[in-house]
Structure 1
Amino acid sequence: MSFKYTIEETQLEGVKVFTPDKFTDYRGTMWTYWEKDMDTPPHKISKFTHSRKNVLRGLHGDNETWKHITCVYGAFYLVVVDYREDSPTYLQWVSFTLDDKNCKSVLVPPGFLNGHLCLSDECVFHYTQSYPNEYVDWKDQISVKWNDPMLKINWPIDNPILSERDK
C-alpha cells in the first residue's frame, strides 16, 4: 500500500509541513511519516519526548541538525524560529498545532530553533535528526528563552512548566 502526502512551504525558507494521506477503517488509521523519496535528509536518530499538559520545551537548535517533527499522541503547539543572522527572515517565527489526528509533520533545517508546548493532558513529540558529522550535544546547542521579548512569540500560555535549562 502506497501513501502520498502534500508538502506546504512556509514563510521561512526550508521549513516545510508534510500532510499525509491517511487510510482509515474500522481498525484505526495508518499513514506514512517518512520515506526515502521525501524531500528530507536521511535520518540518523529517532527520539521521543513525553510531556504533560503545559510543559514547554525550548527554544533549542544548532547550525548542523535537521529535525523532522510529528505528534504521535495528544497535541502540542510547535514554534520554529529562524535564527540565521544572515537570513532575511532572521528572528521571524511560524507556529503549528500538531496532533495525533492531523498527523502532520514539520521539517526544521539547521540554523532554526524550535520549541513546543503540550496542549493535551499528555503528548508524545517524535522527531528524527540528520546531521553531517557528530550529534550536537544539548550542552552545545543554542538555547533562547521561550518568551524572549525580541521574538514576540504568541504562546497560548503565560506560565508554562519549564526545565531549569529553559527558565
Structure 2
Amino acid sequence: MKFNKTSLEGAYTIIPEPFIDNRGFFLRSFCTEEFAQQGLVNTFLQINHSGTRGKGSIRGMHFQFPPFAEVKVVKCTKGAIFDVIIDLRKNSPTFLQWESFELNEENKHTVYIPQGFAHGFQTLTDEAEIIYLVSQVYNKASEGGIRYDDAAVGIKWKLPVATISEKDVSIPYIDSTFKGIDL
C-alpha cells in the first residue's frame, strides 16, 4: 500500500499495490503494521457497509463529537463515488476546508479520515457500495453534521443533487457560533 498525504493534515489516500495474474488480482485493503508505520490509528471497532441507489445521491456530511470522535477508512467496492471530507478541527490551519476523491471499484483507492473531520459522498453511478472501518462505536447523542450545500464550506459536487435524506437536508447551516471540534 502507498500512503499519500492529502492537502488536509492527517488525511491520506491509500493506493493499493495489487498482485495481478491470469486469475484476477489480490491486494491488502488494510494492514495493522503498515498503518502503525505511518503513525495512523490501526484499531477499528466497527465495519460499516453502505449501499446507495441513484446517480447523484448524497450521503453526508457526518461526524461524531468527542469523546466519540472517529477515524474512518473508506473504500468503494461497487460503482463509483465522489468522496468528500471537511476539516472541522478547531485549531487547524485548514479549518472548514474540504477535499474530494474519486473512489471506485476499478481504482480500489481508500481514504483515511482522521478524527475531527466530516465525511460524505455523492454517487457517480446508479448504484454504489462503500465499506468503511470506524475507530469508535456509533453514539447517536454525539452525532453531528455539516449541511451538504453550506456556503461556509462551498463543496462543489460533481453532479446535480438527485436524492438526499430528510435528515441531511435538515442540518442547519454553519453560523458564527460554530468554532469547530476541540479534540
- 1:123 maps to 2:128: yes
**CA pair 26-139 structure 1, distance change in 2 beyond 3 A:** farther
Identity across aligned pairs (percent)?
29
Equivalents in 1 of 2:141, 2:107: separation in Å? 33
Aligned to 1:48: 49
Secondary structure of the structure 1 residue equivalent to 2:49: strand
1:62 is matched with which residue: 46, 61, 64? 64
Aligned to 2:113: 108
Equivalents in 2 of 1:139, 1:158: separation in Å? 31
Structure 1: 5+ residue stretches without partners: none
Equivalents in 2 of 1:159, 1:35: separation in Å? 35
Post-superposition shift, 1:28? Answer: 2.2
Equivalents in 2 of 1:139, 1:54: separation in Å? 29
Report the aligned-residue RMSD. Answer: 1.3
- 1:73 maps to 2:78: yes
- What TM-score do you get using the length of structure 2 for normalisation? 0.83
- 1:15 maps to 2:11: yes
Post-superposition shift, 1:38? Answer: 2.4
Equivalents in 2 of 1:136, 1:48: separation in Å? 14
Post-superposition shift, 1:142? Answer: 1.3
Equivalents in 2 of 1:51, 1:165: separation in Å? 15
Post-superposition shift, 1:129? Answer: 0.6
* Runs of 4+ displaced beyond 6 Å: none
**CA pair 56-139 structure 1, distance change in 2 beyond 3 A:** farther
> 1:18-77: CA deviations, max 9, x gaps?
101012223322211101112232111111000112221000012420000001111000
Aligned residues: 160
Aligned to 1:137: 139
Structure 2: 5+ residue stretches without partners: 170-183
1:143-158 alignment, distance < 5 Å? 143-158=145-160
Equivalents in 2 of 1:37, 1:54: separation in Å? 37
Q: Are 2:56 and 2:160, in contact at CA under 8 Å, matched by a contact in 1?
A: no
> 1:122-145: CA deviations, max 9, x gaps?
1111100113xxx23245311111
Equivalents in 2 of 1:129, 1:159: separation in Å? 27
Q: 2:119 corresponds to which letter in structure 1?
A: N
Q: Are 2:77 and 2:130, in contact at CA under 8 Å, matched by a contact in 1?
A: yes
